[in-house]
Amino acid sequence: MSISATASPVVAAGAVCWRIVDGKTVVLIVRRGDRADVGLPKGKVDPGETPPQTAVRELKEETGLSVTLGAPLQTIQYTMPGGKEKVVHFWAAEVSDAAVAASSFFPNAEIAAVQWLPIAKARAALSYDRDRDVLDEFEARVTAGRVRTFPIIALRHGKAIPRPGWDGPDATRPLMHRGRAQAISVAPAIAAWTPRKLISSTALRCLSTIEPTAAVTGLAISLKEAISQDAFADDESGMLKLVERRLAKRKPVVLCSHGPVIPHIVNEIAKATGEPDNRALRRAGELATGEYIVLHVSLDHPHDGLVAFETHAPHPG
């Protein structure tokens, strides 16, 4: 899934928030006070945002819940009453008991109430078939035991000073102003998946790209020569071992590397998880500067293929 926030149509983002209560999966619905309908929590992308960031912010504003995004669900599109088109991106988002206890929700003019319901009851309560379609996809993942996931995020460094214009070693090329802006733009969106580890190539342009994400998340950056362009060209084994370790850890991680290296990282993750040969996935791994791909691996069935993958770009502004 490739996502970019645009001015037209209206772009929004939300999630199927879920948790386990008494052994059953329950999901969150919202009752909107302004329209007296029942839906899944979502909201419009603000200027300067990209959809993953929006989803987390809107969930906090609408429901009082601080959440971590899981794997993407379908994107829906419909015509609003005024005739304008609206596109809404959805993710699954497991909600912890601590997040529920800390919720700051109170009824307001926009959201009159929030309610946790079993999937069947939530489906019956929803006002729109388009929301039911999203919920049906979510339920299929629950049934398959593939709703709990962890992400491996491969981030390509931002736009750097071109090699012909740089006198020093290639690894010391710095980011251009555009590259620094790209790095700042993607940081809050990457944080939507709450990474637990940040790993960067030793090249300056990669380290500088992941630094804003480190600032947002409060995580330290681990430098790994194995995913640098020069080291990979000499020997792929270091990258292969690093990917193997990250899959074994089953924790959300960001790997900041180079355009020629990332497709190989993606391919290795696909092979290790049993993902069938997938032309769309291969294309998705060919990132432009500042872009990233999120590979969602099942926690319970990590060798049954990827649950989903998605690519994201910096905000175009």
* 24 and 116 Cβ atoms separated by less than 8 Å: no
Q: Which residue has the higher pLDDT, 104 or 148?
A: 148
Lowest mean pLDDT across 66-70, 100-104, 259-263: 100-104
* Summary mean pLDDT of the chain: 94
> For position 33, what pLDDT does the model report?
77
- Cα separations (Å) of 161 from 164, 166, 229, 287? 9, 7, 16, 18
Q: pTM, whole model, 2 decimals?
A: 0.94
Provide the percentage of residues in the chain whose pLDDT is more than 90.
90
Alpha-carbon distance of 85 to 79, in angstroms, equals 4
Q: Which residues pair with 298 in a beta bridge?
A: 149
> For position 35, what pLDDT does the model report?
67
Nearest Cα residue to 190 out of 156, 158, 216: 216
DSSP 48: T
DSSP 227: G
- Cα separations (Å) of 285 from 115, 119, 250, 314? 39, 34, 21, 16
With a cut of 70, say whether residue 1 has pLDDT above it: no
Alpha-carbon distance of 179 to 209, in angstroms, equals 7
